[in-house]
Structure 1
Amino acid sequence: MRIVIDMQGAQTESRYRGIGRYSLSHAQAIVRNRGEHEVVLVLNGQFVDTIEPIRAAFHNLLPQENIRVWYAPGPVRGCDPTNAVQRDAAELIREAFLASLQPDLIHLTSLFEGYGDDAVVSIGMFDQNTPVSVSLYDLIPLMNAEHYLRPNPLYEEFYFRKLESLKRASLLLAISESSRKEGVDHLGVSEDQVINVSTAAESCFESVEISCGEVLALRDKFHLLRPFVLYTGGADERKNLPRLLGAYASLPPDVREAHQLVFAGRMPQGAVDHLRSEAQRVGLGTDELVFTGYVSDDELLKLYNLCKVFAFPSWHEGFGLPALEAMACGAAVIAADTSSLPEVVGCSDGLFDPFDSQALCGKLTRVLVDEDFRASLKSHGLVQASKFTWDRSARETIAAFEHFLHKNGKSAAHPDFHARQSDLVDRIAEFCDGGIRQPELVEFSKAISRISMGDEKRQLFVDISELAQRDARTGIQRVTRSILKELLDNPPHGFSVQAVYATVDGQGYRYARAFCNRFRNDAQTCEGDDPIDYQAGDIFLGLDLQHHVVCAQQTFLDAIRRDGVQVVFVVYDLLPILMPHVFPPGADSGHKAWLGVLAGFDGALCISRAVAMELDVWLRENGPHRMRPFEIGWFHLGADVESSIPTLGLPDDAPRILAELSARPTFLTVGTVEPRKGQSQALAAFDLLWAEGIDANFVIVGKQGWMVERLIERIRVHPELGKRLYWLEGISDEYLERIYQSSTCLIAASEGEGYGLPLIEAAQHKRPIIVRDIPVFREVAGTHAYYFNGSTAEDLAAAVREWLRLYHAGRHPVSNNMLRLTWKESAEQLKRALLSLRLGAEPVVQGVARV
């Protein structure tokens, strides 16, 4: 059974009230108890700020692609009659979206939404095929129309429209037996159509020890001077608060003087002013009645635990959750003997007639002065509260769904989606005559285009924004080319791989189809580089390194993440931040800005364990507050150049140079010429070695980088240049292969790296390695390299001398058996790590840290 749950009850202003708490907790419990059933949650995209909190609430409970977002342009709120046509169109779009998910049953967490906001909830306006269940909290406005409907004809019209929709529901899930009876008695539905699934208090509400410091802080914040009677909840008429004030004022003077009355929680200012005036009228002093204003759940927990009694005088409740929360915290609870409260409290001694002020005063007096009576209520409350659990409520709910579908048969086969979509377009087009203008119709068309069958193959978007513009032939570009090729050739199971790119000039990514045709030497005419289409369950992988593009596209990436696309970036290193002195001014701030942006998404795949650990530390110290954890995985790079779409071509003097390299021991360093790479130290070391008469070549392969002007000048005027010193700038991968083959040993003197790809390339050619002793080189080379320390020319020269001694004796470390990957194997590691992040599980090969 596929259950689709409309979560708007947890998105609107209701999220601050009992309905929102119920909607979220009930849905979580359904997901926990779903068994073999599939659950899909649906969110209204108009409530942007609520999407991430709800996604976070279901982290590790439900795959994120099972949380779907639909859109319809607003405004549609019912309090403005001019929105009627747009609201009707939005109802069609929402129902069409839900139908496209092919549910066996749709559950609405709250039907009576959308009067003061842009919630859209309806039944049977477009889809008359799928059974719908609705949470039934109460029918208080209907049963007390003179208080809740008659004074506001516009809301009355809205309410009765919702009632008609409610009558089209297949099932009503009542939150209490009292609410169930209201549904049967006042809606004209059959007994078996309304099921009591009850409710529960959150697990955070429990009896706890509160320290003296916490007690003092709470008393100081809320001006609690004496033991207190507590109430929390709304302030509308049915809550009966004026009678509570009158009853409290009638307490025996000595009892009253020893206590305070506390109204906890946010109340409308008008209601607060009215209650203050009523308190003054019945003779309460200014310090006898306390309004706390907003309280956090933690503060409410403490107030429940500290109060001498919790009083709940409401004469009509759908359930009465505050009474249950107070009992769960060990409070003595007294409540009105009406509607649902007797079944919640479960003890006649704790009940009173809410319309009899003397009865309320007498019950309040007894519980405040009679310690045995108070203790019995506290003891009973803990036992009674334990009978209400969310898991029990969820199991009752799922059983009701199963019974309904078994009795009535699963919903008929869903009509052809494209026919339904055509019908939807036609019906919305009719609204042109009803007041929707052409620009608004365009927005509705965009909303319709977001509706899909959901059975398309998921896409793995691979960002190649730098490579698509230019191949800078750096190490990162080599990684990008190599991984992209392997992903295109061997996509992850269930995914199609799509190379994409963006620029800083506009929002959104495009398919890099023209580039891919050139990349794969495909002469076929391709479609244009259209904007990407995406759906929940897709993955965006930031493979290329393009700081400015990612920062410019943050808004777009935020949007696709809200819609259920997982956004993950490859992190090559943190060197501009960790070693700012060897980078151009501002490089660290640019890198920090980039990391700050990606830290707001789902995770990172680092090219080594060392980088993963550095990123973990940096995020713990600098990362933003998150609702879901940021997950960090790692993989290792490949080295088979032939699989990396190598660049080709040899210069005219290549044969001569290769012969000269083969003629004597040749030490090679590979990488952009920049301060951290250690080429300056290496050249100074060879100056010493040459002066000693050691006949060896030193070859630098790499383009000129930054902050190395003096080194470049030294190289250009060096007397050994072209004799035993060679600088090969921007050479092709083909030529680099030949250089490796003609060299004796690789020197990696870099002070900091993300990985150290030249080490792998050297091992691929079975060339020995001399490396600086840094963690990432230990990770990559293990025992298969000769390590050195120190930053002077003599330090490295001594290492080369010792290595030559070992080499001539045949005792130098060899790289032949060093663990190295092909690019295919590297891509497989990346795919496993990526899909492990997506599933929220530990990767098979790589480690994950959750920040």
Structure 2
Amino acid sequence: MKIVLDLQGAQSNSRHRGIGRYTVSMARAFAEEAAKTHELWLALNGRHDCSALDLIEDFSDLIPRNRVLINELPANIAGCLEANRERMLVAEVARASFFDQIDADCIWHSSMFEGWGDDSSASLGSGTDDYRHAATLYDLIPLIHPGRYLHDSKYKHWYYRRLGLLKRCGLLLAISESSRREAIDFLGIPPDRVAVVSAAVSGAFAPTFADETVWARWHQQYGITRGYVLYVGGYDVHKNVDGLLTAYADLPPSLRERHPLVLAGRCDEQVKRFLVNQAGRLRLKHSGVIFTEEIDDAELALLYSNCEVFVTPSLHEGFGLPVLEAMSCGAAVVGSNTASLPEVIGCEDALFDPRSPSSMAHKLQQVLTDADMRKQLREHAVKQVAQFSWAGCAQKALAAIEQHVERSPKKLVRTLRPRLIYVSPLPPARSGIADYSARLLRDLASHYDIEVVADQPEVLDPWVQANFPFHSVDWLRKFSDLEARVLYHMGNSPVHAFMFELMRQTPGVVMLHDFFMGGVRNWMDSFPSARRNWTVPHSKDGFRQILFEHHGYGALLHDMRQGRRSTIDTYPVNLDVLDRALGILAHSHHAIDLARWHWGEQIAGKFKVVPFPKALSRRDRREARRLLAVGPDEFVVCSFGLLAPTKLNHRLLEAWFKSSLVNDSRCHLIFVGENDGGEYGKNIVATIEKASSSKRIRITGFVDEDRYMDYVAAADIAVQLRTASRGETSAAIFDALAQGVPLIANAHGSIDELPDDALFKLDDEFSEEDLAAALDTLRGDDSLRQRFVTRSSEWLQRHHHPVVAVERYRDAIEQFSGHGVKALNEHALAVLQRNADSPKQGERMRRMGYDWMARNRPRPDKPRLFVDVTATSSSKLHTGIERVVRGVLTQLLSANGLSWRIEPVRLVDGKFVQALPYTQHLLELSPIAGEGSEVHPHAGDVFLGLDWVADVLPANTALLDAWRACGVKMLFVVYDLLPVRMPHHFPDFISPMHASWLQCIGHYADALVGISKAVIEDLRDWYDDHPPERRTPLELGYFYPGNDPAATRPTLGLPKEASRLLRRLTDTPSFLMIGTVEPRKGHAFVLDAFERFWASGGLANLVIVGRHGWMSDALGERLRARAASDARLIWIEQASDEYLEQLYGVARALIAASEGEGFGLPLVEAARRGLPVIARDIPVFREVSDGLAYYFDGHDADSLVDILGVVLTSEKFAQAREPSSSLSWKATTSRLCELISHGRHEQWLAPWVPMRERG
């Protein structure tokens, strides 16, 4: 194995500090151990030539000169000077190139944090080989305590840039278990990528007793006397020397007299003045606090060996080398109980709380006044230091490197790190996604060279600032790198508004945080400043326009009837995002289920689930509770997030009141988040205020991230409830699980995907009693709470650690970007655009290419049900066919849960176009832009010829051929065959036109559906005599039209004479005829019968309702003449639905005398109103009235006269009952949809089979 030791840490300014000494000692010991079996090389910084020569010489016995590599770098690259920035960046590239050229299994960097104040640099390679880089980890003190160390913006930027490199390393070698935990907890490094190698001290540190000469010199030089208390170390804030002074001042004066405090080592003059002034304020004598100059190791060993006690008050250490040095010299050591110091000291009795001067003073007084304790600590020191040796450290380091290399990728060809354009809101944007994105970037950088794009003036996250170039939206608009990956983080808030336009220009992979996008799109429509990013930039009603494009007329109806809030909650309005995306990432299968429900398998198939990235977090629970004033014996139940009806906060309150916790004064319920601003929030507050335990229930209001995490750490139980999920993943749930807080949640949406044994999971539809029982159970069972914590921690670590998550991210991004169909299409379009002669032509070619590609790929959403309304859309008639078209279409457009999107169309100039104006008028919708564009079918779509367009359809066979070739299923509704069965009752051109239409639909249809069984049987017979040109059987079925006028926009209005006429009709028995006055309707026959009836003395009115139709001039004149002379005949040529309803109400019976009909709607309408029916005896009338009518012979007027007499004289003339053919339009439409969907429905009859196919 080839291992390269980068010893820059022993060349930079660090060479005179602990890092430099550690680097040389560890490298020397490692070389002695590893050189036995491995090939070792040195990498040195050529800028530091003197130190380079020294190191070459020091290691010459272990590493020959020809294995020493010198990295040449430019001068003046220190990060502390802004003027050096350009050269600093060049140096980083040069250093990366230097490592790229080294073919090694492992490159071990002695320190990543070099170059702030000298000509040192830090880099990894440029390729995808971060795994072969290892680095020594000392501590992360500035990251953990940024307020103390990162107040200088330049240093903060420099430090976070180095953190980015450290995080990318494949292996970290920590100098203590404490440092290892810091890497895991604060950098999110997987535990198997951090090994503890420890530290040791040189042989110079051994017990060395001072003789009288030394004591005399010390007294003269420093003022040191016997019995001194010793501190050795730095004077940074975290070293807590000022805290030591405060604690020392708390000692009894007599004790201080005998034991002066010696602060050894180099101290900056400014810091020294501060400490001297503090000592003065504490009334410490000048002779009682002694500063030494910088001293060598021999002098230091003497000081360690002869002190009364050595103290280390540090608040935070990566290791604490002076402690080990002191113990190696036999000193009695006491120190802080924080970070690494307990593991180095190894004696609990020697520890104190460094944040408490009284604790520190107590421990010092104890050890200074107890000789036996000092003896025990010195004896302990001898045993403890035996555990630390450089040889042991080297062996640990070598074992860690060998294991890491063994599990690293084998024979992996190093390639360039892919470029990733990362589009997302980032801090300070007030968005959970912004915070999420900033954290994700840290880990994703291990796989990509990342540049970030956001629609905001600045990014304030220090890690992002330091490690990733930041670009504007305009920059991405001009972006043209075909090889780069693009990742969008999409959510349902205004900070994502800019992305919709960008995705049209530069498609990429989408991380879908919220499935529903209606909120942001409605916001965009409400604010003109956002219009520049609107998908339909010039629309005055952009939300309704995009709502229609995505969801059709049903969504517009919902918006009109239920309001915008309900619409936003009901419709995702995200199809363009999902369709344009190269691929879609989500954190739960619930989002995929929503995609499948709303859009179908085509869109659902574009999704991949990636884990929600979350590392375990163990925020100090005791400190959090102290900050929140929560007592150690108090039991805290928290619910996190904005209060809202969907969060079921009210149900948690009710369960709390039903639980035993409500009566326990130690139990508290805290809603951590902002209250709802409406009635819901007011009701929550009112409920709390009325409760007897109101003082133990509170709503915090908005809290910042730091305070939020304090509440998470302080909680004993978290309760997160949900209903009406919109596909989002709860970050609060992961925060609680990561912190080790037992969780109660209901199995709703993505929560149901959590493992059952990781939380107390309630049913989705739980009761308050269930929740109360869960609270009581967890409150009383510590072991159950711990089991949930243990299992959830294991699950998070295995499946959701950020490193695991970003690997899944990377795999999905690479698959979508390089191998997905959408990516290949985008590449082809870019190549097409490049071949253009001009940018304008290129853009035009790209648009054309995109349109034709769209026609050749599967539809992204549900199949369409195209409903032909060609004739009805241009007609003002309200009779049979038009009534059916309006009735069925209205129900189709209003229905929920259909497997198609409904698209009314009309035939115009040889193509089908959207019937937009007509449909808007039908549904009484406010207009949206456009007259309706051409529709393009896809395989799986359905065409329903609901209208009768016999005049134009046969002339458009090329269009029908094209639609059938696309895979469209074609069905046509047949209303009747009257024009071909009774041509004498129609104008001459009607019969051949109808025959041509029947032949046309018989050729192209997959199925024909009649409005009665009689129509279909008649059609079957006609096709036997006039077979259409086809090879396959033709499916035949039937359905009955609806008969509830209220569902088809009934016409309103009564004529002036209506009241008088209705009273007259009530006074005298009246018979009603409904239908257009034309020869086949039988009006002449009925008038003949009534004239005979009247002549015989019969008393009754005949009321005819219907317009004057074709081929009936003579009949019209006869009716008008008779009506003018005889008040018993009333002909109403124009009657609204309202008027007709009242006429039904005063009639004695309905007369249906037509010689032929497709259905016979008036019979059903009359029966539904309980009105008796007198009907000509024809098959369709017997079918639709279930044989319940009184039937007369249509060839003999006397037969009708006889029935009239019976009706008027018989008391047994029963009212009609409602027949089975009486259906609402909703039921009718549902039946028709069932027919279209199910080939074995009972109303499918035997198919018509072509003659040559019959056996």
TM-score (norm 1): 0.48
Bigger Rg, which one? 2
Higher relative contact order (CA 8 A, sep 6+): 1
